[in-house]
């Protein structure tokens, strides 16, 4: 192949590549941002950045927002700061503020000069709210109109504003000082006559959140009222942001899994902690309190055992079944607690039902106790019949152990069902009635029951 | 007071009452449906029904939909069936189908004749899908247009349809056979020129669900793509319903709390079970498998103890600390598992991170083990120093117990962190690595570790 032919071939290849890229970009433009982001992550960062910057500007920001934090930082460090400023301008404001907060101080200072004044001020304002507040998760991608506009004028304003506003399903009506007066849904505007005033379609009895309110409270309000977005006001009643239903879904997920951790005796800290980013020592601090606490409470169980050492030495077979009694009690108690916590969380029961709940749990526990009584009886006969040194018949001992186990199961279920209700009564999270606490508590009650019954039936 | 005066007074009172009712109704009209529903529940059913039927027809359905099931039935049984048919017509279609399914067979048959043909067919169609499927939770309150309409025509069609359609944020574009071609958001329609064709604003690369798909998969898609609603297609690609973000929130809440139950060894059944409506025997069935399973597995622990009875008889103090070893191992193992389950659920870690996770959990456990070693050492000295019958010094025994506890804590944490990852690897729900299973497993490993160390250090 001579040089000229080689060149032609290479030109052909380049052409093919360019053609394919053209097709690729066209296809990416029609796809949901999150899928494009999933695809970009599979390319090399250079390729990925190259492709991203070839997409229409208004898509770049949305796609970048869907990348995970770590990958965002890789692309950011690779990018020409000026190119990046464009991506940044088109990012949804909430995601943008989050990204900005992930940069270290130096990088933040270096980025700011490239931004337009409006973007810069927006980023700084949204980054200024403490974590866990409504302010920290809100975005400013909302549309406002004035009450004395006509529907036609309002729709005209939306058309002008909307390319940069993600959320225009609700249009917020404000006064000249940005104080919120009410809202109209886009549906209301479409349904109304073009020459009517916006004020005529206005809902002035509206649900809102406040900037420094807990994010969970705001998410629950979105859920309760089935809102697509909730307006967030500052202390002067001015509209400063919105929190949308997808934020609410994230928060509910975090809150529910937090409940599960709490139920396992893991202390939640104020920050939303990402597993991998939290240091081992921080993880340790979140767990050590309960583990040590329970360990120390365990001394109580040891005391109970010590007190009855004479009984254990006389009838050593009793010691062998002690772990079985406490373990089964712990399991039934924790199960009862988690069922009650779930029913409370789903709104299936309220505190008013407390008696019904305890009655129902008792019935369930009685059924479990019956099944376990027979199993325990058989187990003792099976495992300990060789043990002929005892002063009592093996049947009598098996019966005693079975009775103690049955009572333990019922007591544990009642304790497990009651603790979350008590926590709720004192306005706490029912999940603080943690499983390890229940286990430790029923360990102690279980031993007391066990020895009391053994003394009563075997002395 | 003479009769005439009395009459005037009564007339005055009636006037006052009517006046107040007028004001009340006006205020209720402006309030969110869920708040009106909360208020109605506090009145007597007769009062409540009376007030409800005095509100505008288009509000009645929405308010009735927000009442809880039991109260809906009370009002329904009280109402004139013809009045009720009106409420029913205006109810959101999803809630209406749910209510219909709560009626018993006889009541269903009695209601149907009062309904319009359209409502009747809709109710029957929506009630025909199996529980837990996308079809069972979808509604039909969506708006469709044809691709060859102009924007103006499409908006005109929306105006005609919208009063009865709740969700018009997305407008679905279908062909003459109701096969879905794509969608346009209301925002797209507003932004476009009135004389353009709808086809020009069409998104044809769209996300959808299928009627017989699992409801959880559909909810997760709504979350992933941040949709306000997802279209549901039948096997012929025809649009038959939508599932909206508020259904998704409900499903995510149910799924997350189900995970918590599963983690406590409670078997979830196919039906979405309301705590109070499920019979005690059903509750029993959901819990008994694990409790019995673990009880039977506990025989293994008993065997381990029996095998080492000679050791326990020689050094009885060892038996006293066995429960402490197993309980602490259970707590640390369950904590590690719940932290890993949470991080998986929030997408903070994936299977690719398994080595990092196990390494991190080991480090956390080592820190816990150090703290516990000293506490255990002190505890043995404190509680068992009177025990001078032993052939070994109390320090040696305390050291042995401390070492066994430390190893148990690290092993348990590794087991706890690994099991959810294994479940995930086999495409299971990480939460099936239930806490009682972990507790039982580490009970056995803990005893083996304990006796092995005791034999090595004390023989």
User: Does A1 score more than 80 pLDDT?
Assistant: no
Instruction: Please answer yes or no on whether B360 and A283 come within 8 Å at the CB atom.
Output: yes
The answer to whether residue A289 neighbours chain B at the CB level (below 8 Å) is no
Interface residue of B275, B281, B311 to substitute, partner A, most A CBs within 10 Å: B275
Contact A324/B at CB under 8 A: yes
Contact A158, A168 (CB under 8 A): yes
Which of A182-186, A232-236, B431-435: highest mean pLDDT?
A232-236
Task: Give the span between the Cα atoms of A441 and B317, in whole angstroms.
Answer: 23
Radius of gyration (C-alpha) of chain B in whole angstroms: 32
* Residue B425 structural domain: 280-458
* Residues A305, A312 contacting (CB under 8 angstroms): yes
CA–CA distance, A391 with A365 (Å, rounded to integer): 32
Does residue A183 sit in helix, strand or coil?
Answer: strand
Query: What DSSP string runs through A13-82?
Result: HHHHHHHHHHHHHHHHHTS-HHHHHHHHHTS-HHHHHHHHHHS-HHHHHHHHHHS-HHHHHHHHHHS-HH
The model's pTM = 0.81
Rounded to two decimals, the ipTM of the complex is 0.80
pLDDT digits (tens, 9 = 90+) for A387-422: 655 577 888 889 999 999 999 999 999 999 999 999
Which stretches in chain B have pLDDT values below 70?
1-4, 6, 162-166, 268-273, 385-390
Report the pLDDT value the prediction gives residue B269, as an integer from 0 to 100. Answer: 62
Domain count, chain A: 3
Helices (H) and strands (E) in chain B, counts: 20, 6
Shared-domain flag, residues B181 and B68: no
Q: Examine the fold and report which residue of A128, A150, A173 is the final residue of a domain before the chain moves on.
A: A128
A7 within domain boundaries: no
Residues A112 and A184 in one domain: no
For B196, phi then psi, to 5°, come to: -65, 160
**What does the longest C-alpha to C-alpha distance in chain B come to?**
109
Same domain, yes or no, for A435 and A317?
yes
Chain B residues near residue A322 by CB distance under 8 angstroms = 323
Q: What is the pLDDT of residue B364?
A: 92
Query: Which among A224, A281, A335 is the nearest to B287, CB-wise?
Result: A335
How many Å lie between the alpha carbon of B20 and the closest alpha carbon of chain A?
20
CATH of the domain at B241: 3.10.580.10
Indicate whether A398 belongs to any domain. Answer: yes
User: DSSP for A256-269?
Assistant: HHHHHHHHTT-PPP
Q: Quick check: B346 contacting A, CB < 8 Å?
A: yes
Contact status, residue B325 vs residue B404, Cβ threshold 8 Å: yes
Question: Would B206 be classed as within a structural domain?
Answer: yes
| Spatial distance between the Cα atoms of B358 and B351, rounded to a whole number of angstroms | 11
Residues B174 and B286 in one domain: no
Per the CB < 8 Å rule, is B275 touching A34? no
Same domain for B434 and B339: yes
- Look at residue A275 and tell me if it is in a domain: no
Q: Are residues A339 and A432 located together in one domain of the fold? A: yes
What was the pLDDT predicted at A100? 92
Mean pLDDT (whole number) for A246-256: 88
For residue A131, give the DSSP letter.
T
pLDDT tens figures, A163-183: 666 677 889 999 999 999 999
Does residue A292 belong to any structural domain of this protein? yes
Task: Single out the residue in B128, B154, B185 at which a domain terminates.
Answer: B128
User: How far are the Cα atoms of A309, A409, B63 from residue A303, in angstroms, in the given order?
Assistant: 10, 22, 59
Q: How many angstroms away from the CA of A4 is the closest CA of chain B?
A: 44
In contact, A351 and A425? CB cutoff 8 Å = yes
Interval A256-269 mean pLDDT: 78
Between A and B, how many residue pairs show a Cβ–Cβ distance under 8 A? Answer: 317
Minimal CA separation from A177 to chain B, in Å:
25
> Which residue of chain A has the CA closest to B325?
A295
Distance CA B222, CA A448 (A): 52
* Structure confidence at residue B134 (pLDDT): 94
3-state SS, residue B238: strand
Q: For residues A316 and A427, state if they share a domain.
A: yes
Say if residue A150's pLDDT is above 80.
yes
**Distance in angstroms (rounded) separating the CA atoms of residues A133 and B364:** 30
Q: Are residues B67 and B120 in the same domain?
A: yes
- Sheet arrangement for strand B180-185: B143-146, B170-174, B180-185
CA nearest B254 in A: which residue?
A346
CATH number at residue B431: 1.10.357.20
Q: A339 vs chain B: nearest CA distance in angstroms?
A: 7
Check B342 against A260: CB less than 8 A apart. Answer: yes
> Are β-strands A229-233 and A209-210 bridged in parallel, bridged antiparallel, or unpaired?
parallel
Q: What is the pLDDT of residues A442-454, one digit of tens each?
A: 888 998 999 999 8
- Of A6-10, A218-222, A266-270, the least confident: A266-270
Which residue from B276, B299, B320 is facing A348, i.e. has the nearest CB? Answer: B276
Does the beta-carbon distance from A205 to B30 stay under 8 Å? yes
CA-based torsion, B113, B119, B120, B121: positive or negative: positive
pLDDT in tens, B317-339: 787 788 788 888 988 998 898 88
Q: Are residues A50 and A180 both part of a single domain?
A: no
Cβ separation A338–B263 shorter than 8 A: yes
Residue A6 lies in a domain: no
**Cα four-point dihedral sign A31, A33, A34, A36:** positive
Same domain, B235 and B369: no
Domain boundary among A263, A292, A326: A263
Nearest chain B residue to A32 by CA: give it: B225
Domain annotation covers residue A270 = no
Burial of B4 (0-12, 13-18, 19+ CB in 10 A): exposed
Residues B355 and B380 in one domain: yes
Q: Does B260 touch chain A (CB under 8 A)?
A: yes
| Contact status, residue A131 vs residue A174, Cβ threshold 8 Å | no
Residue A227 lies in a domain: yes
Q: In the predicted model, is pLDDT for residue A105 greater than 90?
A: no
Task: Please state, as a whole number, how many other Cβ atoms lie within 10 Å of the Cβ of residue A83.
Answer: 14
Of B274, B280, B332, the CB nearest to A360: B280
Record: contact A158-B313, CB cut-off 8 A: no
At residue A388, the pLDDT reads 52
Contacts of A184 (CB under 8 A, 6+ apart): A145, A154, A170, A171, A173, A198, A201, A202, A203
Burial class of A46 by CB neighbour count within 10 A (0 to 12, 13 to 18, 19+): exposed
* Residue A133, pLDDT score: 92
Q: Taking all residues of chain A, what is their mean pLDDT, rounded to a whole number?
A: 86
Chain A residues near residue B191 by CB distance under 8 angstroms? 159, 162-163
Q: Are residues A160 and A297 in the same domain?
A: no
Express each pLDDT in A11-60 by its tens digit: 887 788 788 888 899 889 888 899 999 999 888 999 999 999 999 988 89
Mean of the pLDDT values across residues A202-217? Answer: 92
**Which chain A residue shows the shortest CA-CA distance from B343?**
A275
What local confidence, expressed as pLDDT, does residue A165 receive?
65
Q: What is the CATH number of the domain that holds B45?
A: 1.25.60.10
Question: Touching check for B289 and chain A: CB below 8 Å?
Answer: no
In chain A, residues with a C-beta closer than 8 Å to the C-beta of B162 are 187, 190-191
């Amino acid at each position: 192949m001579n040089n000229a032919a080689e060149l032609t071939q290479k030109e052909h290849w380049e052409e093919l590549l360019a053609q394919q890229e053209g097709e690729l970009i066209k296809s990416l433009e029609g796809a949901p941002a999150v899928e494009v982001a999933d695809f970009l992550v599979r390319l090399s960062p250079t390729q990925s950045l190259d492709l991203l910057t070839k997409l229409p500007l208004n898509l770049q920001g949305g796609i970048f927002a869907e990348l995970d934090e770590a990958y965002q930082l890789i692309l950011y460090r690779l990018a020409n700061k000026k190119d990046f400023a464009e991506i940044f301008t088109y990012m949804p404001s909430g995601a943008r503020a989050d990204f900005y907060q992930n940069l270290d101080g130096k990088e933040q200072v270096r980025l700011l000069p490239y931004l337009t004044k409006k973007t810069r001020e927006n980023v700084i304002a949204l980054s200024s709210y403490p974590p866990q507040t409504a302010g920290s998760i809100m975005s400013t991608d909302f549309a406002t109109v004035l009450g004395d506009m006509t529907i036609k004028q309002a729709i005209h304003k939306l058309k002008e504003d909307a390319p940069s506003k993600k959320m225009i399903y609700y249009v917020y009506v404000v006064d000249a000082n940005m104080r919120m007066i009410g809202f109209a849904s886009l549906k209301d505007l479409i349904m109304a006559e073009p020459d009517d005033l916006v004020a005529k379609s206005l809902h002035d009895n509206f649900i809102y959140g406040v900037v420094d309110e807990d994010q969970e409270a705001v998410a629950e309000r979105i859920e309760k009222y089935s809102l697509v977005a909730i307006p967030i006001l500052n202390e002067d009643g001015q509209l400063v942001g919105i929190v949308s239903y997808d934020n609410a879904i994230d928060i509910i997920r975090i809150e529910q899994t937090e409940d599960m951790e709490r139920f396992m005796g893991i202390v939640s800290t104020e920050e939303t902690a990402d597993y991998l980013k939290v240091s081992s020592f921080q993880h340790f601090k979140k767990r050590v309190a309960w583990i040590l606490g329970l360990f120390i409470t365990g001394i109580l169980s040891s005391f109970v055992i010590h007190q009855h050492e004479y009984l254990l030495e006389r009838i050593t077979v009793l010691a062998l079944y002690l772990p079985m009694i406490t373990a089964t009690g712990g399991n039934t108690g924790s199960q009862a607690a988690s069922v009650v916590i779930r029913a409370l969380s789903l709104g299936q029961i309220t505190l008013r039902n407390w008696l019904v709940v305890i009655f129902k749990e008792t019935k369930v526990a009685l059924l479990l106790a019956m099944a376990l009584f027979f199993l325990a009886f058989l187990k003792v006969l099976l495992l300990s019949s060789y043990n002929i040194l005892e002063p009592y018949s093996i049947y009598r001992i098996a019966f005693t152990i079975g009775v103690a186990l049955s009572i333990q199961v019922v007591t544990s279920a009642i304790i497990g069902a009651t603790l979350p209700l008590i926590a709720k009564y004192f306005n706490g999270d029912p999940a603080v009635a943690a499983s390890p606490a229940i286990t430790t508590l029923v360990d102690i009650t279980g031993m007391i029951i066990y020895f009391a019954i053994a003394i009563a039936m075997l002395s």
